[in-house]
Amino acid sequence: MKIAYRIVTPILAVGAIVMGIFLKMFSFTVGNSDSQVNSVISAVSGLFGRSTIYEYSLFDIFKMIPQADTSKAGEDAKGLTEVASAILPELYTFIVLLVLVFAVMIAVGVIGALSDSKKKRTTEIILCACGLVLSFVCILVSNSAFEKIMNGDVNLTDLVSLFASSALATLATAVLTITEASLSAGFYAMFGIMLVIIMWTVAANMVIKTPIVHEKTYKRKKPVRSIKSLVRKK
């Protein structure tokens, strides 16, 4: 069981990091505050096979940032930090917290591979608990940022103009707004794996302490007396 623990735990930790980077982390729903206009937007989107829900992974965002082009809107174009200035405190806080979560998962993987004692396995539980606390704070910080985005504190037209090459996409922002925003599968996959590692560690400690092995009992066989010895006694 000790060997299985030292193999499985690092795999789970690395899997959490990979899913956090490549699975969709943020989900945004576009529409309009007016229900009638929103119905038209949904109908048009369905007609052209387009979804009103847009999801982005950290990997997608890393690829998009270099594409931000302030030259598209002329000399008066705003930079990315200026456009997102309303949520910069939450954004920086979220990035720091997320980096800490990744660091915790790396530590879980390394210590898990070296876990040859109950003390180290207990450390795994403590690390995952810290990761869960950091994740809860991430949720609170992101909700604050999403609320500002949905309230219109971030100008959607300026933001789209930095990334979109189509003037039509920029024009559409005059009608569209972000009606819903939330964390998505990538974040909650990491959250779930930390819970799994805690339960896996508790189960491993129980099995290692009391191995599920049936003890074999050996009974001494009685010596078989030969016929000659019996005859002599008579």
For residue 75, pLDDT over 50 is answered with: no
Mean pLDDT lowest among 26-35, 103-112, 140-149, 207-216: 207-216
Q: What is the pLDDT of residues 81-121, one digit of tens each?
A: 787 888 899 999 999 999 999 999 999 999 998 887 888 88
Give the dihedral of Cα atoms 199, 200, 201, 205; nearest 10 deg: 100
204: which 2 tokens? 């491993």
Would you state the pLDDT for residue 54?
80
Q: What pLDDT does 119 receive?
A: 86
pTM for the full model?
A: 0.78
**Residue 51 burial (10 A CB sphere; 0-12, 13-18, 19+):** exposed
Q: Decide if pLDDT at 67 tops 50.
A: yes
In this predicted structure, which of 2-16, 142-156, 163-177, 208-222 has the lowest mean pLDDT?
A: 163-177
Mean pLDDT across 27-44: 69
Q: Write down the residue that tokens 């933001």 correspond to.
A: 159
168 confidence band (pLDDT: 50, 70, 90): very low
Place of tokens 């007016």: 34
